[in-house]
Chain A
């Protein structure tokens, strides 16, 4: 039976990668990701994990080495954050387009300038369109479970795509949580060694990464889009199987007092747990409010989102990133566009908050919900509002 242990989430991620028996870890340190890769380096140094740890000289090289390792069929893991993820940017597109399965934990961090090491989702949103499967976690247990699920999903021959697991920098990476760490034999059964179908190998020479002129580029992109969209089915199957073995269930969109509720708040990542407390408090005060937590960011769960909010009148979306000069937060604009053609749909009100590590307390969420309800009634002069700005 799995033991529940008190462990820092970063270390638990490294332990999960060890349970997954990864072959190659290639990473470059950046706060708040450092504890993950330090612990992995330690596991390799102690002989507890039989893997190559490549201490590269940059994140661009970290991700590039992951491409190489994955292309020969090695199970490959890395982690990054903020500026590091941005330095990887062009390489991320290659990983997905070349269908190289690998898993990366992203300790979400704000982007410079000003330099800021704390959490928000600016880094995640900047890599939104890189073609990776992207999952947001709310707590340490979810991260650990999703490291294991992500390798299963990534390596599934119907998928063969890289997976990013987003977890909030500091709010998640640096906290000690009680986490069930699965047993090795359970993991081995759930996650057999990878069998990449077409690795680089002299027995069957392949040309990988060919030049794609206009006559074929569109078709390649269509294939990539179809592939990522179809991955949802495999993700759902994987989560279901994981649930039946390990007893913890995952779905793309989670509700909290959200059925038949008129006012819903939507969050992603670790803020959900504080938001739930605010919902409890407001419901105790007789208010008809609930919460939607978006866990699967790519492929975007259109059907599940539409289903989850179909009875609501007001949907308040909190983004931890900003699209400057645009319609507000990226999550809000995606949700709004997903609902626009529905016959009945809630009013969608956007807030941006929690930037650069700024916390939002229980009362903060109450304020956001209250103001959101007011905007739904009276309208606002702004496309979206920023919460908590000190004037």
Chain B
């Protein structure tokens, strides 16, 4: 873990909080951590459009707010569309001389459900139309706000309340939808994956995404101790293991070119990741093998796509 220390030592991060403490997220929530880090990278000159979901609910209960940047929540599935309107409205008013001051960056935030399921159409539309905005998906691999129901981002074998493990079921029977690849298929200039267990990598990508003209998409794996049934104090460790096992590789896609950001000479076995989480507690050896094989295959495919392997941590 030497690299981590060096990384921490060489970087300065603003003490300013734009998503402040006092919100109601569960203990150990890495989604809240990811939002906090993303906001530090964004700074004050933004307008945030937030989908319904955990982060909206925990942060905005009237009359309190955790947000010290302009923030709007309307519905669950329309975040990218609202952001489209914000962006178009801003640009037009600026052009017509009716927007006082600097033009802020537009950032949309949604969960995996709000992104890869119910909000996918609105997101696809906004990416295809080329709005100048950053879309961040905070992926905790289920509908957590409503009580841990499965989404298309829930991993194979995970037990959720609507993909329960039982005599006849291993839990989720489908493989996680590849949302970054779907975003990239829109030929947008910037796509990246991130995880708050790699905070500087996350902040760099958010900063890069928001500075990119046109649409950018950052997909952040966010450990949810409540839904994953893991110890809250292990949230950061589990996020790191997701990367080190190759289950959730950190990469960027620019101009169609994949680039791996975390150098892994050898993948850790998936069991190291799975065994810390109650949602996988029921899995048989055979199913774990199936997961390991799939991860190896997918990681090899990714390596093939990626050229430079420049490690940051």
Separation of A58 and B95 alpha carbons in the complex (Å) = 27
* Contact bitstring A201-229, B, C-beta under 8 A = 1, else 0: 11111111111110010000000000000
Q: Is B47 an interface residue (CB 8 A)?
A: yes
Complex contact A61–B44 (CB within 8 A): no
Complex contact A207–B71 (CB within 8 A): yes
Q: How far is the CB of A139 from chain B (nearest CB, A)?
A: 32
Separation of A56 and B83 alpha carbons in the complex (Å) = 12
Separation of A56 and B123 alpha carbons in the complex (Å) = 11
* Contact bitstring B88-121, A, C-beta under 8 A = 1, else 0: 1111110110111110100000000000000001
Complex contact B75–A64 (CB within 8 A): yes
Q: How far is the CB of B59 from chain A (nearest CB, A)?
A: 8
Complex contact B67–A61 (CB within 8 A): no
Contacts of B82 in A (CB 8 A): 64-65, 67-68, 71
- CB closest chain-A residue, reference B88: A52
Complex contact A56–B125 (CB within 8 A): yes
Q: How far is the CB of A155 from chain B (nearest CB, A)?
A: 13
Q: Is B174 an interface residue (CB 8 A)?
A: no
What band does the interface of chain A fall in when counting residues whose beta carbon is under 8 Å from B? 35 or more
Q: Is A72 an interface residue (CB 8 A)?
A: yes
Q: How far is the CB of A144 from chain B (nearest CB, A)?
A: 23
Separation of A65 and B123 alpha carbons in the complex (Å) = 12
Contacts of A203 in B (CB 8 A): 100-101
- CB closest chain-B residue, reference A208: B72
Q: Is B45 an interface residue (CB 8 A)?
A: yes
Contacts of A201 in B (CB 8 A): 47, 70, 100-101, 104
Complex contact B61–A213 (CB within 8 A): yes
Interface segment, one of A90-98, A249-257, A282-290, A312-320: A90-98
Complex contact B124–A57 (CB within 8 A): yes
Interface-central residue, A66, A74, A76, by most chain B CB under 10 Å: A74
* Contact bitstring A22-53, B, C-beta under 8 A = 1, else 0: 01101000000000000000000000001110
Select which of B44, B56, B83, B85 is within 8 A of A66 by beta carbon. B85
Known interface pairs A57-B121, A91-B75, A209-B72; A73-B89 also in contact (CB < 8 Å): yes
Q: How far is the CB of A218 from chain B (nearest CB, A)?
A: 12
Task: Provide 25 A-B residue pairs closer than 8 Å at the C-beta atoms, listed in order of the A residue.
Answer: A23-B92, A24-B88, A57-B122, A58-B122, A60-B78, A60-B81, A64-B74, A64-B82, A64-B85, A67-B78, A68-B72, A68-B81, A72-B90, A74-B92, A76-B85, A76-B89, A91-B74, A193-B98, A200-B72, A201-B47, A203-B100, A203-B101, A208-B70, A210-B61, A210-B63
Binding site for B on A (CB under 8 A): 23-24, 26, 50-52, 54-58, 60-62, 64-74, 76, 90-91, 94, 98, 193, 200-213, 216
